[in-house]
Amino acid sequence: MKQFNHEAPIRPLVVLVTDEAGRHRPTPLDLDLAAQFCQPKQKIASILDPINVGINPSLYLDKEAT
């Protein structure tokens, strides 16, 4: 999660670092879940431990996404 959304906690600004298959993306992608005005197609379904899925969050902190 990059930025918390106080009005809709399940729709924060997130940074995607893997694709649907779990492969690392060449560049991180910002996804603003709150910007989806009509019945969001994407929302947070569960929270995973990044280390358990092979992601080191410190590699992405303070980095620009697209």
The per-residue pLDDT for 10 is 64
Dihedral through CA 35, CA 37, CA 39, CA 42, nearest 10? Answer: -10
55 in a domain, yes or no? yes
Write out pLDDT tens, residues 12-65.
Answer: 788 888 888 888 889 888 888 878 777 766 777 778 888 898 888 888 776 655
Select from 17, 21, 30, 5 the least CA-distant residue to 58.
Answer: 17
Q: Residue 40 belongs to what domain range?
A: 13-59
8 in a domain, yes or no? no
Select from 34, 35, 14, 36 the least CA-distant residue to 25.
Answer: 14
50 in a domain, yes or no? yes
The per-residue pLDDT for 14 is 84
